[in-house]
Amino acid sequence: MKVTEIFYSLQGEGVWLGKPAVFLRLGGCLAPYCPWCDTRYAWDEARDMDQEAVLASMARYDCRTVVITGGEPLMQWDELAGLHERLIERGYAIQYETSGKAGIPPIEGATVVCSPKYIDHAWRIEPQTLSRAHYFKFIYHDRSSEQAIMQFIKDHHLAAERVYIMPEGSTRRAQLGLMAQTFEFCRQQGLAMTPRLHILAFDARRGV
């Protein structure tokens, strides 16, 4: 499979916020690309690794929680499915982070977090597979984001406890600049807000 990086950190966003995890970042994504993406290097920066090499790299860390992210990791599900089973056999708790652009296959024994992307006035997702996601993360860009997010939640009948809102920004300054607006939106709508801890702690640094 195409692997961009494997590293140990704390989950910076959402339902596993602050939890130690090994991150497996897979390469590749699907157009249209997010103009605000903070991991653009994952679009085309990757090396080929087989399952044994990935498992050996992950085993260096004394942690049995893994976050599989991208890019868009589910583009590689044909190769990833076998690794998924081996991770379960080894006792890993698994979280997938996906945009939903490639669809979401049936995945047993994992937490699936979908972060739908609103690009050029349209949600870039495969809506028929959204029922396979457990949680949803939405990026708050500015006031214009609010109607689109709330309409998506309404259209797909998402319970508030499954939804997290996070401010856009790949730098600490950008995050802090939107924090108050995001906070107010979440308070008004009864939704959970998630910071992006890795950016607040390390700014634009990679591998943290």
Report pLDDT digits (tens) over 32-43. 999 888 888 998
Do the Cβ atoms of 102 and 30 come closer than 8 Å?
Answer: yes
Query: What's 130's domain CATH number?
Result: 3.20.20.70
Task: Name the residue range of residue 191's domain.
Answer: 2-202
* 128 within some domain: yes
Q: For the chain, what is the domain count?
A: 1
* 172 within some domain: yes
Regarding beta strands 20-26 and 2-10, do their DSSP bridges make them parallel or antiparallel, or are they unpaired?
antiparallel
3-state secondary structure of 181: helix
Do the Cβ atoms of 83 and 51 come closer than 8 Å?
Answer: yes
CA 175 – CA 152 distance, rounded (Å)? 23
Low-confidence ranges of the chain (pLDDT < 70): none
Look at the block and give the residue holding tokens 């599900």. 77
pLDDT value of position 44: 86
pLDDT value of position 21: 98
On average, the pLDDT of the chain sits at: 95
What Å distances lie between residue 96 and 151, 173, 180, CA to CA?
24, 28, 28
* 185 within some domain: yes
* 101 within some domain: yes
In tens, the pLDDT along 90-128 reads: 999 999 999 999 999 999 999 999 999 999 989 999 989
* 110 within some domain: yes
* 163 within some domain: yes
* 208 within some domain: no
* 52 within some domain: yes
* Number of separate helices (H) and strands (E) present in the chain: 6, 11
The two tokens of residue 41 are 């290097």
